Structure 1
Amino acid sequence: MNRVWVLPVLFVFMIAIAVYTSSTPLEVAATTTGLLSVWLTARENIWAWPVGLVNVACFFYMFEDAKLYADMLLQVFFFVLSIYGWIAWLTGRGASKVRPTRSLSRRQALLLGALLVVATFLWGYALTSYTDASIPYADALIATLSIIAQYLLSSKVFENWLCWIAVDILSIGMYAYKELYSLAFLYAIFLAIAIAGHLSWKRELVRASKGATA
């Protein structure tokens, strides 16, 4: 994650895929700012949040055009949670650059799991009944899981990466189905970065645990 050449190479690939698939300028902006935001997040860099706000705005308008309404509404939640995350990462940090990472309790995990099932069903039903959404329940599942992942990320909870890995895998399939190929490719890169972020944050959590018991 510390190799400086990785991000420029990824950007070149993203632009090449965007041109090859005849992506719109808005889609190119969404994919590139999304890539930069996730990269900075995995590196625990506070600049991930302002870049993420730009990314959210791009995705909002792009999903409206694709009739992915759950994903469009999702960007509103992301906007609020990104502001919350920006503030949260800068508080309770002590001498560190950002707030320390913590783990999710078993009780919290069970509650979030139940919330995922209920919210996905209700959201999917609403999309089916009141909109012309293309794939309502898949859209609702990814959107709900993304909100949970973003909340955990904003709260600096380690398990956010497990949620993002699931979101990325599901999103690759959905965007490929909708022929948003540069987005599908972006989420493949997101998946790789999420795995790297999971490993990096895990090492930090282990070091913090050893420091607390020393």
Structure 2
Amino acid sequence: MIDWLNSPAVTAFGAATTWAELLGFVTGLLTVGLLVGRHILNWPVGILNVLLLIVVFWSVGLYADAALQVLYVVLGAYGWWSWLYGGHDRTALKVRTTTRAEWVGLALAGAVVTVGLWLFLDRLTGSTVPLADALTTALSLLATYGQTRKLVESWWIWIVADLIYIPLYAYKDLWLTAILYVAFLILCVLGLRAWRAALVRLAPAAVAR
């Protein structure tokens, strides 16, 4: 199966695109589209997507990104449960804004993860882009955690990450994945608008309670 996933499916921009990258493209778009609409199926489809991306990233030496996908599986399972039962009295989770304390925690965690991964990748692996790999890994983890809690501002973190991912994947000749992240960037903007609108709709209900 791994050999088939790593075999060429199509040629894009003069570089072979593997089946893993092609299927990752399709499931990735579907995942974010479902996430924009706050549909619970984004989590199982997302888990399938990251399993495919493990194969893609490991094959081109993006080791932190490959390891990140394993954490995504865990976060995907948590997000699935959280959206169903993470609200008040184990009810479905509602969209909300990020608190000041959460921002402080996210910033500290992001700094620690970025510096730690950068040093690890630079000194102990063959990564050719250790800082970019570490930074995007940290941002992606923070954004995913934010979305497991339905934090509106998590979309901003994804937007910053995507602006780094796009040139990074182009540099690695993962052109289809780079195009995918352009689409992700557009979907992130749509997601930000949709979740903000959902927050506005929820505000009157919160006041009524």
TM over 0.5: yes
Q: 1:162 aligns with which of 156, 162, 170?
A: 156
Verify: 1:142 aligned to 2:136, yes or no: yes
Cα offset, 1:156, TM superposition: 1.4
1:51 maps to a residue whose letter is V
Mapping 1:108-119, distance limit 5 Å: 108-119=102-113
User: Residue 86 and residue 20 in structure 1: after superposition, are their counterparts in 2 closer, same or farther (change >3 A)?
Assistant: farther
Report the more deviating stretch, 98-107 or 190-199.
98-107
Identity level (%): 36
CA distance in structure 1 between the aligned counterparts of 2:138 and 2:86, rounded to whole angstroms: 28
Provide the residue aligned with 1:31 in structure 2. Answer: 25
Q: 2:34 aligns with which of 37, 40, 48?
A: 40
CA distance in structure 1 between the aligned counterparts of 2:15 and 2:120, rounded to whole angstroms: 32
1:203 maps to a residue whose letter is A
Provide the residue aligned with 1:203 in structure 2. Answer: 197
Verify: 1:101 aligned to 2:64, yes or no: no
User: Residue 68 and residue 198 in structure 1: after superposition, are their counterparts in 2 closer, same or farther (change >3 A)?
Assistant: same
Q: 1:173 aligns with which of 162, 167, 185?
A: 167
CA distance in structure 1 between the aligned counterparts of 2:104 and 2:157, rounded to whole angstroms: 14
Provide the residue aligned with 1:22 in structure 2. Answer: 16
Provide the residue aligned with 1:84 in structure 2. Answer: 78
| 1:90 aligned counterpart, secondary structure | helix
Segments of 5+ residues of structure 1 without an aligned counterpart are 1-14
Cα offset, 1:17, TM superposition: 8.2
Answer yes or no: is the 8 Å Cα contact 1:38–1:190 preserved in 2. Answer: yes
Q: 1:187 aligns with which of 181, 194, 197?
A: 181
Q: Deviations over 1:85-140 (max 9, x none)?
A: 0111111468xx95211111112102211221222011100001110001001100
With normalisation by structure 2, the TM-score equals 0.89
| 1:23 aligned counterpart, secondary structure | strand
Q: 2:60 aligns with which of 66, 80, 87?
A: 66
Following TM superposition, the consecutive aligned residue runs of length 4 or more in structure 1 with deviations greater than 6 angstroms are none
Provide the residue aligned with 2:45 in structure 1. Answer: 51
Segments of 5+ residues of structure 2 without an aligned counterpart are 1-8
| 2:163 aligned counterpart, secondary structure | helix
Provide the residue aligned with 1:4 in structure 2. Answer: none
CA distance in structure 2 between the aligned counterparts of 1:119 and 1:19, rounded to whole angstroms: 34
CA distance in structure 2 between the aligned counterparts of 1:17 and 1:162, rounded to whole angstroms: 33
Q: Deviations over 1:148-200 (max 9, x none)?
A: 11111111111111111111111001101111111110000000001000000
Cα offset, 1:19, TM superposition: 8.6
Provide the alpha-carbon RMSD of the alignment.
2.0
CA distance in structure 1 between the aligned counterparts of 2:196 and 2:80, rounded to whole angstroms: 21
Cα offset, 1:213, TM superposition: 2.1
Answer yes or no: is the 8 Å Cα contact 1:101–1:156 preserved in 2. Answer: yes
